[in-house]
Structure 1
């Protein structure tokens, strides 16, 4: 199984590919889209669940998404047709870091996708290029809630603590106007959903040639979460505006 197949199955019951529950997603969108008629861009949109939810509740919104996964974009197109919002959604199959548009957007989203840009600050730099004056950025990033083990750092990457993460954002010329730190129940629900969905898929298809690999992957990832990073890793989502005088 390739990475896209695993991700698609794992997120069957948790289409927001970050540790956020529905109420948290709604609050973040409310803060980022106060008028309801904005133009919004998602860099690294995957199956475009953020955009689909925004479009479904804001009939005057226009949205664009960018991702390298044709499989994920196909899912997004199918879902957009099913939810009746396809006429207000444009999807671009390309590297989000190199995306160029003549339009400037009122909200730029990149939640859980900073790896695609090489880290938090490069992601904010990409968002800045697309942001309209007075616009907002909604970004989601991991952080270390406690000192991690070497194994956890090797597995997840070089994050900082929460305060340092926010300090880096502020020093880069941004002002947080809203934030959400994912609660324990959100972090746990996300992991259970992902590896439970993958395991259930395998158990329901014992004759499928990919079943054994899927079950093994689910077991490995669940064990890594429980034994390596569950007690140390956190996730923060920030709604940001440009600090006056910072460009």
Structure 2
């Protein structure tokens, strides 16, 4: 059982792959989509949950998603078709780092996927390439809410505290226009859902060759969460606009 399969099973009860409840997701989308007819891009869309929710809420919206996972994109297509929004959704199977669109986007999303780009600021650099003038970026990333142990840093990366995180974003030329800090309930609910869904699948499929691996992964993850990073890890989502005016977006040259 590979990492992608484990993640898919672990998110069965929490399709938003980040510590956010449904109300928080709704509010963030409302702030990122002020008109309702925007063009939206999700870099690292996974199963397309953000895009599908936006499309079902805003009938005039158009959306595109990029991800390297075939199974996740298949799930996104199936969900979109079931909900009748598939004609307004385009999905791209490729590395989001290399993605080049033929038009700009009013909202660019990347929540919980900054590792794919090499960090928060690198993700913002990638998002900026796709952003229409006056557009918004919705980005979500972790921060240290307390003093981390060396083990926590090794596990989750060299994050900053929240003020420093925001300072770095501002220094990079962005202005936050809205934000959400995940609550303790959201953080705990996400971890319980992740470990619980994976463990439940393993217990429900004892004869599956991947059952013991899935149960071990759930046990290890739960232990690391409770013992290593639960008390020091936070998660913030920011809606950002460019601080200064930028040149009009231009299409990439033909390949």
TM-score, length-normalised on structure 1?
0.99
1:1-247 alignment runs, 5 A limit: 1-245=1-245
The Cα offsets for residues 111-166 of structure 1, whole Å up to 9 and x where unpaired, read as 00000000111100011010001100000010000010000000011100000000
CA contact (8 A) 1:178 1:239 kept: yes
1:105–1:131 Cα contact (<8 Å) kept: yes
**1:52-75 deviation line (CA, Å, top 9, x unaligned):** 000011000000000111111011
Aligned partners of 2:99, 2:191: CA distance in 1, in Å?
Answer: 31
Measure the CA separation in 2 of the matches of 1:69 and 1:7: 11
Deviations 1:189-226 (A, max 9, x none): 00000000000001111111111111111011000000
Q: Is the 8 A contact 1:173 1:246 kept in 2?
A: no
Separation of aligned partners in 1, 2:177 and 2:246 = 16
C-alpha RMSD of the superposition: 0.8
> Are residues 154 and 25 of structure 1, via their aligned partners in 2, closer, same or farther at CA, if it must alter by over 3 Å?
same
Gaps of 5+ in 2: 248-255
Gaps of 5+ in 1: none
Aligned partners of 1:170, 1:246: CA distance in 2, in Å?
16
Q: Partner of 1:41: helix, strand, or coil? A: strand
Question: Which runs of 4 or more aligned residues in structure 1 lie more than 6 Å from their structure 2 counterparts after TM superposition?
Answer: none
- Distance of 1:136 and 1:33 partners within structure 2: 9
- Superposed CA deviations along residues 25-77 of structure 1, whole A, max 9, x for unmatched, are 00000000011100000001111100000001100000000011111101111
Tell me the secondary structure at the aligned position of residue 98 of structure 1: coil
TM-score by length of 2: 0.96
Q: CA deviation at 1:245?
A: 4.8
Equivalent pair of 2:133/2:246 in contact (CA under 8 Å): no
